[in-house]
Chains A and B, each alone.
Chain A
Amino acid sequence: QVQLVQSGAEVKKPGSSVKVSCRASGGTFSNYVISWLRQAPGQGLEWMGSIIPIFNTANYAQKFQGRVTITADESTSTAYMELTSLRSEDTAMYFCASNSNYFDYWGQGTLVTVSS
């Protein structure tokens, strides 16, 4: 069974960047597709992008193009999501999840708070 463990909560200033990690275990990392989603307080879920570690290629939602970068390190079975030019509207819980269609395994979530 796949397990995804994310890095801890972050507090950031507007205009700065955040990088969240997601370490996978319980399977072959190269075979996964890892996606990142976010959920603003009291809101629904929003897909941000996905990466195929074996190819190290990512695709992103148009909304986040130019601000988000998803990478993967096969040597540590870890995926990363970096979001730049943070604004208050980016305050949300960020999740990694396996698969790129439906999401069968999820990380526990990382709360990113953007505040001056």
Chain B
Amino acid sequence: ETVMTQSPATLSVSPGERVTLSCRASQSVSSNFAWYQQKPGQAPRLLIYSASTRATGIPARFSGSGSGTEFTLTISSLQSEDFAVYYCQQYHNWPQTFGQGTKLEI
């Protein structure tokens, strides 16, 4: 199966900063790639699909890029509500697989 590797595992940041999270696939997933945000005690929330398309209601400060095996999620100016765990997912190769997550903390 396709292994998704996220880096870093934890990122200490401050409100207002620009942040870039990375995800690497063990084989090409084309642009069949998504990002999710998960806060404690909640279900994940879809942020980005097709590598760069924001889901409904997602603020413009979230942007995704990449294709093939390298992907990034950029948050242009961190807000307090953005401190959470972020997961990447590929849905190009069966079975769909997720990364282990990057935790944004203050």
Contacts and interface: CB of A to CB of B under 8 A. Distances in A.
A52 to B, nearest CB: 15
B49 A106 contact: no
A33 B44 CA distance: 18
A9 interface: no
B46 A102 contact: yes
A44 B43 contact: no
B35 to A, nearest CB: 9
A47 B96 contact: yes
- Between A43, A97, A104, A108, the greatest number of chain B beta carbons within 10 A of the residue's beta carbon is seen for A104
A101 B32 contact: yes
Contacts of B91: 101-102
Interface string B93-104: 001111111000
Given A101-B32, A101-B91, A106 B44 contact: yes
A101 B29 CA distance: 12
Nearest to B101: A44
A106 B91 CA distance: 17
17 contacts: A45-B44, A45-B87, A47-B95, A47-B98, A61-B95, A62-B95, A97-B43, A101-B91, A101-B96, A102-B34, A103-B46, A104-B55, A104-B56, A106-B43, A106-B44, A106-B45, A107-B43
Interface of B: 32, 34, 36, 43-46, 49, 55-56, 87, 89, 91, 95-101
